[in-house]
């Protein structure tokens, strides 16, 4: 590996760690306020903050919107993303942070299976074995009696399925300028969430509004860091690094929410991560 490639991977890793940290900060706020406000209302606020932050780039690069095509796929991606983010905000407020993160690691496995079914990609036996091992990890992490977390687990299942489907659609939109993708995503979230959020709107105090604006800012900055990371670094280097987020959310869960992860969560997370690495790393 050349020095230039090593340097690019190092910079990409730094950007990805920044993405992980910003996402954890944003989700920490959502988790803390998720019982006080409807999830769809939090999605709307996050989308509106994102649109404000994107506004200068929309003005400066408005020419990229002149030849937007495949509108149907864009609309499908927006619908799937709205369901995914709403379910994610609902789930993170109702699950221990460590369990939420551990089960989220199943997304590469679900995406792999969807790619085989929808995009007719051929998968070696090793990856199907990894998917089965990942499913075993989910069973271990959840435990025999999920109890009060049942609805949170169900919502997270919707998050994983919806997010994987949205990723498949995103791959079908390959070649679309990144700004167009971001604007469709953020603007579409706002349009789809607005009717439901306004119907059940819970008044916000000035302090709560500022905190939620901060969460939206963190989330939008995280998206930029993610794009920069994958622009610079190689997927084989960045992929395993993403699992560092489990340490971050487990620490935040303990320090902020007084959550002590059970041994089943830790073992289940280890099994899921091992399965995901087996499926994605050569």
Run means of pLDDT, 10 residues per run, the chain, 282 residues: 80 90 95 93 95 92 85 93 95 93 87 78 78 86 72 92 88 83 91 95 91 93 84 75 88 93 90 82 60
Tens digit of pLDDT for each residue in 164-193?
898 888 888 888 888 888 899 999 999 999
Tens digit of pLDDT for each residue in 123-175?
778 878 888 888 888 888 887 666 666 888 999 999 999 998 988 888 888 88
The pTM for the full model equals 0.89
Mention every residue, 6+ apart, whose C-beta is less than 8 A from residue 12. 228, 229, 230, 231, 232, 233, 234, 237, 238
Angle between helices 71-92 and 3-33 (to 10 degrees): 60
* Tally of domains in the chain: 1
Which domain range does residue 101 map to? Answer: 3-280
Q: Which two tokens stand for residue 126?
A: 């090793």
């Amino acid at each position: 590996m050349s020095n230039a490639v090593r340097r690019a991977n190092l910079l990409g890793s730094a950007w990805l760690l920044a993405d992980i940290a910003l996402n954890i900060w944003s989700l920490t706020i959502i988790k803390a306020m998720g019982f006080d406000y409807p999830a769809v209302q939090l999605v709307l606020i996050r989308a509106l903050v994102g649109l404000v932050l994107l506004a200068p780039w929309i003005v400066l690069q408005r020419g990229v919107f002149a030849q937007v095509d495949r509108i149907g796929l864009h609309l499908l991606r927006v619908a799937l993303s709205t369901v995914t983010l709403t379910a994610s905000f609902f789930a993170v407020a109702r699950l221990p942070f460590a369990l939420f993160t551990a089960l989220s690691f199943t997304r590469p496995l679900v995406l792999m299976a969807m790619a085989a079914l929808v995009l007719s990609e051929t998968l070696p036996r090793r990856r199907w074995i990894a998917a089965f091992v990942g499913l075993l990890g989910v069973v271990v992490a959840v435990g025999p009696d999920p109890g009060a977390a049942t609805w949170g687990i169900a919502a997270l299942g919707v998050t994983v399925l919806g997010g994987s489907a949205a990723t498949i659609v995103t791959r079908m939109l390959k070649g679309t300028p990144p700004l167009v993708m971001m604007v469709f995503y953020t603007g579409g979230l706002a349009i789809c969430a607005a009717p439901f959020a306004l119907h059940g709107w819970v008044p916000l105090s000035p302090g709560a509004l500022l905190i939620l604006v901060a969460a939206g800012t963190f989330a939008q900055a995280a998206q930029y860091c993610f794009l920069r990371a994958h622009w610079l670094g190689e997927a084989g280097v960045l992929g395993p690094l993403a699992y560092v987020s489990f340490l971050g959310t487990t620490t935040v869960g303990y320090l902020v929410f007084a959550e002590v992860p059970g041994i089943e969560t830790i073992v289940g997370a280890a099994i899921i991560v091992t399965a995901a690495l087996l499926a994605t790393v050569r």
